[in-house]
Structure 1
Amino acid sequence: MHNVEILSRIQFAFTVAFHYIYPPLSIGLGLCLVIMEGMYLKTGNKLYEHITRFWIKIFALIFGIGVATGIVMEFEFGTNWATYSRYVGDIFGSALAAEGIFAFALESGFLGILLFGWNRVSKGVHFFSTIMVALGSIFSALWIVVANSWQQTPTGYVIEGEGMQARAVITDFWVMFFNPSSMDRFAHVIIGSFLAGSFLVMSVGAWYILKNKHLSSAKAMFKVGLSVACIAALLQLFSGHRSADYVSKYQPAKLAAMEGHFDANAPADMYLLGWVHTKDQKVSGIKVPGGLSFLVHQDFKAPVTGLNAFPGEDRPKQVNFVFQTYHLMVTIGITLIALTLLAVYLLYKKKLFEQRWLMRIFVLAVLLPQIANQAGWYAAEVGRQPWVVYKLLRTSDALSKTVTANQVVFSLILFTFVYLVLFILFLYLLNKKIKHGPDVNENEEDDSDVFSKRNVGAIS
């Protein structure tokens, strides 16, 4: 069963990680679409209409791939994790049902108007549809995060039955919904999604600028993306701190793994980078002495609960993995703040689009929020081990009892092949749409537009 557990965890991690590429992009892009179309309604400038139409096409592509890759996970709950599904079915099932009824239906229902409603409905109705699609994507994330957060900090339930027949049943829906970690984790996920979508917009805009194509459109979309990214990057700093606070209170073993802190009750350092030597229970790297103690207790000498305070079977085993993924997320977060603030400063100085070296960085920077989102998810989930529901159900006990290792390997190979084909198709279609660019004749632009022809020519 140990091999089945490892393989099932790998399979689920792979499918979730691949699916998680797309929802953050659609959430962040949804907000950017609202801003773009709002600017069109406010200014009447056709340039904003053209870039909104362009990004709606890309949004539809991302949405479609996201739906296709998300369906698989729901089947895996029943095939690989039947005990888990029975245990949390009343709680997780209610959240998934709410996601389908209140979020996915809202998003997909208005998506048709968003895609095909131009010139068929009024500008106000189309803008309302854009807002509803954006809200639908956010609400969808809300219900999924609530369900996952309940696994981290379960509240509002009772356990009925005993042994393998035990299951968690909701006693208070709103206590379950507003469990201690749900809102902080939701904010962290949504802000990370805003960063993913806005950096995609800036990446495409920067690429057009480097290629000397669609320059006015590129500047307009880059500025929209930058406005979202700068605010989101700064907010993520505070959101991350609040998330660390709840982890320190409700999941101290996870926090200890994130910083490689082994001493049961001693001041804890904060590492900027390092490597955990698990056998020696030491960390080598660059650190701020007592930094974690200060963040948790505002006292550099205050003790922080370490891994040795917990029995070996009740704490994470992959400490270095949790440490590295957590620090990768934090490092990227700081990098995103620096990048966006530098861009805002140069924009204020009217020198941003002349910095071709910075535009090259922004083309590639689209990968950074994605890597940070993935790393943060891995740190949170692996750091929770060995529990699938914290202190209630162990991951090893959540498996389906009849699934064999060979079956998991075969399905994993099959999923890998199918997802690889989908990813290649996604990249092909995305590249095709980006190369085509917005349908706008820049010779027809109004000279009064904020993106003047003089500045456009200065870039070439």
Structure 2
Amino acid sequence: MDTEILARIQFAFTIAFHYIYPPLSIGLGVILVIMEGMYLRTKKEIYHTMTRFWVKIFALIFGIGVATGIVMEFEFGTNWATYSRYVGDIFGSALAAEGLFAFALESGFLGILLFGWNRVKPWVHFVSTIGVAFGSMFSAVWIVVANSWQQTPAGFKIVGEGMNQKAEITDFWAMVFNPSSVDRLSHVLIGAFLAGAFLVISVNAYYILKGRYLEIAKPAFKIALVVVIVASFAQLFTGHRSADGVAEYQPAKLAAFEGHYDSLAVGDMYLFGWVDHDNKEVTGLKIPKFLTFLIHQDFTTQIKGLDYFPEDEIPGQVNAVFQFYHIMVAIGMVLIGLSILSIYLWWKGKLFKYRWFLVLMAWAVFLPQIANQVGWFAAEMGRQPWVVYGLLRTDEAFSQAVTANQILFTLILFFFVYLLLFVLFIYLLNKKIKHGPYDDRLEDDRPNQSEQAFNL
């Protein structure tokens, strides 16, 4: 295996593992604001208790997320030196803004969030919760801005020649609000809201199934469910907006998403299928001309197919891009279906009546995580062979001084370290969930209802 492929695999592995945690912390941050806001508004102790419980889980997720994210910054320098030199001015500005607006805000309030209980006034603690939530979202803002610039570069000029070429910012705000940044940011944030909310739903569905902490679990389940219902429908809108942007600025990626080859034909939308790139055929279930309708609001406009582009300017793994994209879309529709089902049961007063529904919601915690992962894979693999779209090719961006054996060794090392971190995370998360929302010192004071069996 050559150096470029190994470098790409290593970065894909590290970023995929890291990306388990930021969406959870972003989504949980929003949930914490709602829970603590309910406590300040109602003065009911159950909201105070559930907030303190989820703050502990937030701290665990935040800590693992920071630890796994540091590695990627070193990989830019070790494995992608040409790329780092080329985009250094752009990424330097974005990452500096992240440190200033995100990490400073988040870390500044994190101490109060974790240790300020009974030490500061309730409204001060609530402000710290809001600060941490916004800090986690601001971190996503600048990362997505930097990544979106790779997809749709704007506000820059190229200076230097040959290996010394690099992009320099000419308009900071044009760089920030590049053509895809707003749509992609909204899509990413809503995906994060879904990930965090489904974690809360899953844990509380488990408690309800076990007949434990019902006075805490049911209200927390409902709070998270409201976030899921709003976010799942909003994700449909942001996904469509993002796809429109891809159609305009990255037509080869859109063609790969749908396995569309013929540039003289309208675009069909596949519900599922399999792409045979050698024969330029897709086998599957499709809605004829519906892709054209979604993009152009008519059934006659032709869409650029993969045949329109030179072979060396289209993604090398079209079927993989197709599958990842369709898995993301399918999960999004499943989440909307779960939201509709939840609305119906809630309206009928049967939200906690059926065991099968609670089991379904408990296991649904994996769906947003899978959708987030495959969505990123589709976006990044669909951009190939460009690391900066239309400007810098991936095969020109990796470090020439690093050998394949060196990358392979560190990849194996990272695998075992990350595996250890993941096992530790699952162990600690499971321990906190089994311990429950009450502090040891409050164990004797919790309501008797939490000990009653839940009759399903």
Could you say which TM-score interval applies, normalised by the shorter chain?
over 0.9
CA distance in 2, matches of 1:107, 1:445: 34
| Unmatched tracts of structure 1, length 5 or more | 447-452
Cα contact 1:272–1:285 (8 A) shared by 2:
yes
Please name the residue that 2:455 is paired with. 459
1:101 Cα deviation (Å)? 1.4
Give the stretch that moved more between structures: 93-102 or 385-394: 93-102
Asked if 1:6 is matched to 2:5, the reply is yes
- 2:307, 2:107 → 1: CA distance? 49
Aligned pair 1:382/2:405, yes or no?
no
| One-letter identity of the residue aligned with 2:455 | I
What is the match of residue 404 of structure 1?
403
Count of equivalent residues? 452
CA contact (8 A) 1:117 1:126 kept: yes
Correspondence 1:16 to 2:12: no
Q: Answer whether contact 2:259 2:275 (CA < 8 A) is retained.
A: yes
Alignment of 1:286-305 (within 5 A): 286-305=285-304
Contact persistence 2:6–2:407 (CA under 8 A):
yes
Query: What SS does structure 1 have at the residue aligned with 2:2?
Result: helix
SS at match of 1:276: strand
> Is the counterpart of residue 65 in structure 1 residue 64 in structure 2?
yes
**Aligned residue number for residue 337 of structure 2:** 338
1:450 aligned residue: none
**2:283 counterpart SS class:** strand
Residues of 1 paired with 2:137 and 2:446: CA distance? 37
Secondary structure at 1:303 match in 2: coil
* Alignment CA distance shift 1:391-1:214 (3 Å): same
Q: Secondary structure at the match of 1:150?
A: helix
Partner of residue 449, structure 1 = none
1:89-100 correspondence to structure 2 within 5 Å:
89-100=88-99
**CA positional deviation for 1:443:** 7.2
Q: Read off the aligned partner of 2:12 and give its amino acid letter.
A: A
State the match for 1:158 in structure 2: 157
- Map 1:62-211 to 2 at 5 A: 62-211=61-210
Name the CA distance, whole Å, in 1 between partners of 2:318 and 2:399: 27
Letter in 1 for 2:128: S
Specify the SS of the correspondent of 1:399.
Answer: coil
Letter in 2 for 1:415: F
Other structure's SS at 1:149 match: helix
CA contact (8 A) 1:353 1:459 kept: no
In the alignment, is the contact (CA less than 8 A) between 1:354 and 1:458 conserved in 2?
no
Question: 1:225 matched to which residue of 2?
Answer: 224
Cα deviations across residues 221-263 of structure 1 (Å, max 9, x unaligned)?
1011101011000000000000000000000000000000001
Give 1:219's aligned amino acid: K
Aligned to 1:259: 258
C-alpha displacement of 1:52: 0.3
Q: Which amino acid aligns with 2:364?
A: A
Shift of 1:444: 5.6
Aligned-pair Cα RMSD in Å: 1.4
Quote how far apart the aligned CAs of 1:459 are.
3.5
What is the SS of the residue equivalent to 1:265? coil
Alpha-carbon distance between aligned partners in 1 of 2:447 and 2:185, rounded to the nearest angstrom: 41
Describe the superposition over 1:189-241 as per-residue Cα deviations: whole angstroms up to 9, x where unpaired.
00000000000000000000111111111101101110101100000000000
* Mapped contact 2:194–2:227 kept (Cα < 8 A): yes
What are the Cα deviations for residues 336-371 of structure 1, in whole angstroms up to 9, with x where unaligned?
011122112211211111111011111110000000
- Structure 1 residues 346-355 or 398-407, which shifts more? 346-355
Letter in 2 for 1:188: H
Conserved? CA contact 1:191–1:232, under 8 Å: yes
Native 8 Å contact 2:23 2:193 kept in 1: yes
- Equivalent AA in structure 2 for residue 184 of structure 1: D
Task: Look up the match of 1:359.
Answer: 358
In the superposition, relative to structure 1, how do residues 29 and 442 fare at CA in structure 2: closer, same or farther (>3 Å)?
Answer: farther
Which AA in structure 1 matches 2:410?
A: S
CA distance in 2, matches of 1:457, 1:294: 53
Cα distance in 2, alignment partners of residues 375 and 102 from structure 1: 29
Kindly indicate whether the alpha-carbon contact (under 8 Å) linking 1:150 and 1:179 is maintained by their aligned counterparts in 2: yes
Q: Is the 8 A contact 1:323 1:379 kept in 2?
A: yes
How far residue 265 of structure 1 moved from its aligned partner, in angstroms, is: 2.8
Whether the 8 Å contact between 1:214 and 1:442 is mirrored in structure 2 is no
Structure 2 contact 261–306 (Cα < 8 Å) conserved: yes
Aligned partners of 1:442, 1:266: CA distance in 2, in Å? 70
- How many Å separate the matches in 2 of 1:83 and 1:432? 45
Query: Structure 1: how far apart are the matches of 2:192 and 2:364?
Result: 14
CA distance in 1, matches of 2:16, 2:454: 42
C-alpha contact 2:211 2:454 (8 A) present in aligned 1 = no
How much does 1:282 deviate? Answer: 0.7
CA distance in 2, matches of 1:133, 1:383: 33
The residue type paired with residue 59 of structure 2 is A
Q: Any idea what the Cα deviations from partners look like across 1:375-407, whole Å, max 9, x if unmatched?
A: 000000000000000000000000111000000
Q: Which residue of 1 aligns with 2:430?
A: 431
Over 3 Å counting, the alpha-carbon distance change for 1:25 and 1:444 in structure 2 is: closer
Contact preservation (8 Å) 1:210, 1:356? yes
In the alignment, is the contact (CA less than 8 A) between 2:212 and 2:453 conserved in 1?
Answer: no
Structure 1 letter corresponding to 2:365:
V
- Preserved CA contact (<8 Å) 1:47 1:217: yes
- For normalisation by structure 1, the TM-score amounts to 0.96
Equivalent position SS for 2:255: helix
Contact 2:113 2:128 in 1 (8 A): yes
For 1:245, the equivalent position in structure 2 comes to 244
Structure 2: which 5+ runs fail to align? none
Instruction: Find the aligned partners of 1:157 and 1:265 in 2 and give their Cα distance.
Output: 34
Offset at residue 113 of structure 1 (A): 0.2
Measure the CA separation in 2 of the matches of 1:298 and 1:344. Answer: 30
Mapped to 2, the partners of 1:340 and 1:116 lie a distance apart of: 35
| Structure 2 CA distance for aligned equivalents of residues 304 and 182 of structure 1 | 23
Task: Please tell me the residue identity of whatever aligns with 2:84.
Answer: S
Partner of 1:49: 48
